[in-house]
């Protein structure tokens, strides 16, 4: 856990007004008044659960949550390489160098995907970059957002991550790609996939084989976007 990021995001989430359409597991302070104690933190408990195959509902929840985040400013003091998720995100969007970072098939595969990147005209805002598995639902089907993973990127990128994760990890059909109506849909998808693959490459020293495993998970999406993969 990066304490600087968590302290900032805890303050941010607690500024978001209550909404009847979406719930947020907001951080709570310890009795000493701190958000983080010995690398541990807590959030409010909201009775909810993961619901299988409701990817469209998760996408709707994403849009509602990001609408609430629109008016808040990003913390520009956060270091791009503060943890592996932010590091991977920074590499994907060209804010951190990638050249010669990984050797062998990992670097070659990631670079191959990079070669299909095209410029996207987009606006950044604060997003949750890991919503597919972190959107739960109450008994009344109200979405609950947990485990905030902040980034300063386009909303459509957050949605592409949801869709790619659903196809790769939850056996969602490839047709799910079609619900992302962004003009540069495939470009957002490529960035979402490289985001996950770079995280896997960063994890490879501690989890041997994770990179090749993730390649297999995301391969069907890549083949639809880039037939030569």
The pLDDT tens digits for 17-27 are 888 899 999 99
Strands of the chain (E only): list them: 23-24, 27-28, 42-43, 125-128, 135-137, 143-145, 150-153
Helix axes 185-203, 84-92, angle to 10 degrees: 140
Strands of 30-142 (E only): list them: 42-43, 125-128, 135-137
Listed residue (182, 186, 170, 184) closest to 224, CA to CA: 186
What's the DSSP call for residue 108?
Answer: H
For the chain, which residues make up each domain, given as ranges? Answer: 3-225
- Full-prediction pTM beyond 0.85? yes
pLDDT score recorded for residue 96: 87
Q: Going by CATH, does the domain composed of 3-225 fall within 3.90.1200.10?
A: yes
Cβ atoms of 167 and 173 closer than 8 Å: yes
Tell me the pLDDT tens digit for each residue of 165-189: 999 999 999 999 999 887 899 999 9
pLDDT score recorded for residue 57: 97
């Amino acid at each position: 856990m990066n304490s600087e990021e968590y302290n900032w995001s805890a303050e941010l989430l607690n500024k978001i007004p209550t909404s009847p359409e979406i719930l947020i597991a907001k951080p709570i302070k310890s009795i000493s008044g701190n958000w983080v104690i010995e690398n541990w933190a807590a959030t409010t408990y909201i009775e909810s659960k993961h619901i299988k195959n409701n990817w469209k509902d998760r996408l709707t929840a994403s849009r509602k949550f990001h609408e609430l985040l629109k008016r808040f400013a990003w913390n520009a003091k956060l270091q791009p390489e503060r943890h592996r998720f932010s590091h991977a995100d920074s590499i994907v969007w060209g804010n951190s160098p990638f050249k010669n970072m990984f050797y062998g098939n990992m670097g070659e595969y990631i670079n191959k995907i990079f070669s299909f990147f095209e410029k996207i005209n987009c606006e950044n805002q604060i997003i949750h970059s890991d919503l597919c598995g972190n959107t739960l639902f109450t008994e009344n089907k109200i979405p609950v957002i947990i485990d905030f993973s902040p980034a300063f990127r386009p909303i459509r990128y957050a949605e592409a991550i949801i869709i790619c994760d659903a196809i790769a990890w939850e056996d969602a059909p490839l047709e799910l790609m079609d619900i992302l109506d962004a003009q540069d849909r495939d470009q957002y998808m490529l960035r979402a996939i490289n985001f996950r693959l770079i995280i896997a490459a960063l994890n490879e020293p501690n989890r041997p084989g994770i990179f090749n495993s993730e390649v297999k998970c995301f391969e069907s999406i890549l083949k639809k976007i880039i037939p030569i993969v």
